[in-house]
């Protein structure tokens, strides 16, 4: 047991470290994972022993594959499918047949195997794994239709390959029975029907539950993960291997229904998938016997697959669809095999060995030779091949910010923290006539934002960028007088006007002054996939959505709509400074909490931080004051406060009571749900009054109070309050 646990732990740790290293050095992750597994396995250092896991390795591989394929289905893009549907359909129908039969013929001729065994070996390498292809696509950003063809092929061909492999296995192992081929074909059809039905059913249920928001936000990810594993497990239990199709269909249905928090869900599944890929690839590659790869016939077979069969598949699939030589050449080169091929080969090789089949080891040897060769050679050379063939897609992302140095400096800094490329042009450097647009930093300009009226006074050079920047991507701070906006001298070279944005903000000059004085700031914050009521308002205005290094400007910050990214750039008022004195947050969700109970519990927290503070005296003193001076200020807020020795500064403790505090009279008759205990040292009246003002200011934003009272995690409450200053 110890060896099994150690093997699994080391494999996971090594897999994650190698994934991080691959990203750091811009290498295909699978190359490092395969090498790492071989080095750590029995063949070299002997630190990992996959055989110690027994049949557990099959279970781990199966569950990992289910999550990988669910994530693949979740991220399939139907818009992309429509753009190249004919080619994708051919790649998933003609492609597997040509690859399968052609490879089988080569195996039969080279090794002299039984024809059905040759078909068994060939069925393992029909697939082009998403675990390898998708990371390559993320790095390369090739032309859109090439991306969609390779993406759809990689995700769905796994299902085709697995079903064909199982069909051939059943045909091979039923040879002594009557009508073995008919038996295998009928099971093939049943797997398709069961997988599609099971996946569609669970996908619809999952999506509908999410749309009804029956699952708390904190549990969405694990709920969907459990649903994917349930889909795979039940379908697999009814008919082995049918779960592969079921999870792909389930993920696809969830994506089509577009439930809330879909972006968050995709991000979580991607992380989970990467951990699984790292672990399984290390475990499977650790099983390999290097001596079995010295056969020259393997090189001949690989050459046939890469230089004959794959180009033939691509040519037949793209015939008459307007794909040129360069695009066909790139599609022909990118066909690496991945984790599904490797894991299925290990599984079937083991089963065939147990049954005493000759050439059973060939299933694993040929598959792993193909995986290693295609992943290493094609994965490492893909960027170079894409550049040589000129198939990479240019996507402009840089924002040029023109205006006052303090303002565009703060805005540019926040955008860069979100991964957005920016170029800042300070108005003090002169007009845009002095900008050298041939500089490399202007090569991929996506949009221009004018934050200062003086920059608009001479805009001709900026408009001359029309050959680089789409006419709809010129923006200006809308507090400028629209009649002052200059027009270009030529309608052919420029848009008619800049799009006015941020109408609900003050002027750019006032914001610049506020930033310099410290009363305002522009910052990057994380947001969910849905807009939280009360998150934004006059004190915190969203200016941009940011997602994966791309920024989308928000034209009206007071009506931002649903988030278009995982992060937001906000303009924040910083006069309050409440977060500087807030030391502790406690959620009191018990029933019938009294005001005295709340104050006592907050006083205990204060005593823990300041042991010299006389806890009981503070509580008694506050209650004596409440007899003559009310503590509820309205808006659901109460502020019991006092001066007391034992603290060295103003400090505040917040109790959030979702059910409301009993018996606290308030001027607006609203139940008190937030109790702030504020304690300051004697002689700090100014600091004390400033803290009181900061807390009282919250009563002006009932939606923000409601947002706070909906939270159940103290750290989240602290984060939301910190956003406000």
- The whole-number mean pLDDT for each consecutive block of 10 residues of the chain, a chain of 725 residues, reads 79 88 74 84 85 78 77 69 84 92 94 89 82 76 84 80 78 66 76 87 89 80 85 87 80 79 60 77 79 85 94 94 92 85 78 80 87 85 90 76 85 89 70 47 74 57 50 72 44 54 77 78 80 74 88 87 85 70 88 86 88 84 77 86 86 90 80 90 86 78 84 83 72
Two tokens, residue 268: 């979580």
Beta strands 641-643; 672-680: pairing state? parallel
Is the separation of the CB atoms in 261 and 251 below 8 Å?
no
| Residues 196 and 74 grouped into a single domain | yes
Q: Could you give the C-alpha distances from 357 to 108, 284, 706, in angstroms and in order?
A: 15, 22, 69
Residue of 275, 261, 267, 227 whose CA lies nearest to 247: 227
Counting the structural domains of the chain, the total is 3
Number of Cβ within a 10 Å radius of residue 305:
22
The Cα-based distances of 458 to 401, 486, 606 in angstroms read 15, 8, 59
| pLDDT for residue 484 | 46
Of 337, 371, 389, the residue at which a domain comes to its end is 389
Count other C-beta atoms under 10 Å from residue 648's C-beta: 11
pLDDT of residue 491: 41
With b for 16 or more beta-carbon neighbours within 10 A and e for fewer, the 213-237 pattern comes to: eebeeeebbeebbebbbbbbbebbe
124 and 160 part of one domain: yes
pLDDT of 460: 44
From residue 437, alpha-carbon distances to 394, 400, 440, 470, 601 in Å are 18, 11, 8, 16, 63
Task: State the DSSP H helix or E strand holding residue 546, giving kind and residue range, or none if neither.
Answer: strand 540-547
Q: Are residues 655 and 685 in the same domain?
A: yes
Domain match, 166 and 223 both: yes
Q: What is the CATH number of the domain that holds 154?
A: 1.20.1530.20
- Do 404 and 506 share a structural domain? yes
Query: What letter would DSSP give residue 401?
Result: E
Q: What is the reported pLDDT for 512?
A: 80
Same domain for 153 and 188: yes
Whether residue 583 sits in one domain with residue 568: no
- Shared domain for 378 and 409, answered yes or no, is no
CB-based contact 58:347 (threshold 8 Å): yes
Does 680 share its domain with 711? yes
Give dist(CA 401, CA 475) in Å, integer. Answer: 10
Q: What is the pLDDT of residue 444?
A: 67
Q: Which of 545, 550, 543 is nearest to 572 (CA)?
A: 543
**Residues with Cβ within 8 Å of residue 558, at least 6 apart in sequence:** 504, 541
Tokens of 597: 């109970």
Evaluate whether 592 touches 573 at the Cβ level (below 8 Å).
Answer: no
CATH number of residue 678's parent domain = 3.40.930.10
Q: How far apart are CA 21 and CA 284, in angstroms?
A: 20
Domain boundaries, position 622: 578-723
529 and 593 assigned to the same domain: no
Distance between alpha carbon 251 and the CA centroid of its chain, in Å?
Answer: 15
Which one of 573, 592, 624 terminates a domain? 573
Domain boundary among 521, 554, 573: 573
Residue 49's region, left for phi above 0, alpha for psi from -120 to 50, else beta, is: beta
DSSP state string for 596-652 = HHHHHHHHHHHHHH-TTS-HHHHHHHHHHHHTTS--EEETTEE--EEE-TT-SS-EE
Predicted pLDDT of residue 263:
57
Same domain, 431 and 504: yes
Same domain, 56 and 174: yes
Strands (E), 648-696: 651-661, 672-680
Q: How far is CA 176 from CA 218, 363, 550, in A?
A: 54, 21, 61
């Amino acid at each position: 047991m110890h060896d099994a646990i150690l093997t699994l732990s080391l494999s996971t740790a090594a897999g994650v470290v190698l994934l991080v290293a691959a990203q750091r050095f811009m290498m295909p992750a699978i190359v490092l994972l395969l090498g790492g597994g071989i080095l750590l396995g029995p063949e070299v250092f002997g630190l990992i022993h996959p055989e110690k896991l027994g049949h557990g390795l099959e279970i781990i591989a199966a569950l990992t594959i289910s999550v990988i394929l669910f994530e693949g289905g979740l991220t399939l893009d139907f818009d992309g499918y429509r753009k190249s549907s004919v080619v994708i359909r051919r790649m998933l129908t003609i492609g597997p047949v040509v690859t399968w039969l052609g490879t089988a013929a080569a195996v039969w001729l080279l090794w002299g195997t039984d024809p059905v065994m040759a078909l068994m070996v060939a069925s393992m390498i029909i697939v082009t794994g998403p675990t390898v292809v998708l990371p390559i696509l993320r790095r390369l950003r090739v032309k859109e239709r090439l991306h969609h063809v390779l993406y759809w092929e990689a995700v769905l061909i796994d299902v085709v390959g697995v079903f064909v492999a199982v069909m051939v296995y059943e045909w091979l192992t039923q040879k002594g029975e009557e009508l073995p081929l008919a038996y295998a074909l009928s099971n093939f059809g049943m797997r398709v029907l069961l997988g599609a039905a099971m996946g569609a059913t669970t996908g619809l249920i999952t999506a509908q539950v999410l749309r009804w928001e029956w699952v708390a936000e904190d549990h969405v990810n694990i709920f969907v993960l459990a649903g994917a594993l349930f889909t795979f497990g039940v379908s697999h239990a009814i008919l082995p291997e049918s779960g592969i199709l079921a999870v792909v269909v389930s993920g696809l249905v969830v994506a089509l229904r577009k439930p809330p928090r879909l972006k968050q869900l995709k991000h979580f599944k991607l992380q989970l998938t990467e951990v699984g890929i790292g672990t399984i690839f290390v475990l499977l590659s650790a099983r390999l016997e290097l001596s079995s790869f010295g056969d020259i016939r393997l090189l001949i077979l690989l050459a046939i697959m890469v230089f004959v069969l794959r180009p033939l598949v691509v040519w037949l699939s793209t015939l008459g669809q307007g794909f040129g030589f360069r695009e066909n050449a790139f599609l022909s080169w990118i066909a690496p095999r991945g984790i599904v091929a490797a894991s299925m080969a290990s599984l079937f090789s083991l089963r065939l060995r147990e049954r005493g089949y000759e050439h059973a080891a060939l299933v694993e040897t040929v598959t792993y030779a193909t995986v290693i060769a295609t992943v290493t050679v094609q994965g490492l050379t893909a960027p170079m091949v894409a550049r040589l063939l000129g198939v990479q897609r240019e996507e402009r992302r840089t924002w040029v910010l023109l205006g006052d140095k303090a303002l565009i400096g703060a805005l540019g800094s926040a955008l860069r923290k979100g991964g957005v490329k920016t170029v800042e042009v300070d108005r003090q450097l002169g007009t845009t006539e002095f900008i050298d647009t041939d500089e490399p930093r202007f090569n991929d300009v996506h949009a221009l934002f004018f934050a200062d009226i003086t920059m608009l006074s001479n805009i001709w050079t900026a408009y001359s960028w029309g050959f680089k920047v789409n006419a709809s991507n010129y923006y200006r701070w809308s507090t400028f007088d629209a009649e002052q906006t200059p027009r270009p001298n030529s309608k052919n070279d420029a848009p008619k006007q800049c799009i006015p944005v941020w109408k609900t903000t003050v002027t750019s000059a006032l914001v610049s002054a506020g930033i310099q004085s410290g009363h305002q700031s522009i910052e990057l914050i994380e947001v969910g996939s849905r807009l939280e009521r009360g998150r934004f308002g006059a004190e915190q205005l969203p200016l941009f959505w940011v997602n994966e290094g791309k920024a989308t400007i928000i034209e009206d910050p007071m009506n931002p709509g649903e988030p278009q990214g995982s992060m937001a750039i906000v303009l924040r008022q910083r006069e309050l400074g409440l977060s500087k004195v807030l030391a502790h947050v406690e959620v009191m969700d018990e029933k019938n909490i009294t005001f005295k109970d709340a104050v006592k519990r907050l006083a205990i927290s204060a005593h823990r931080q300041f042991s010299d503070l006389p806890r009981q005296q503070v509580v008694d003193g506050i209650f004596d004051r409440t007899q003559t001076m009310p503590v509820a200020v309205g808006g659901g807020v109460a502020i019991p406060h006092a001066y007391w020795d034992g603290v060295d500064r103003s400090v505040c403790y917040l109790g959030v009571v979702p059910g409301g505090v009993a018996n606290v009279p308030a001027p607006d008759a609203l139940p008190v749900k937030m109790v702030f205990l504020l304690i300051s040292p004697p002689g700090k009246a100014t600091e004390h009054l400033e803290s009181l003002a900061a807390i009282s200011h919250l009563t002006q934003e009932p939606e923000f109070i409601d947002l706070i009272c909906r939270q159940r995690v103290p750290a989240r409450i602290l984060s939301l309050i910190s956003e406000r200053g």
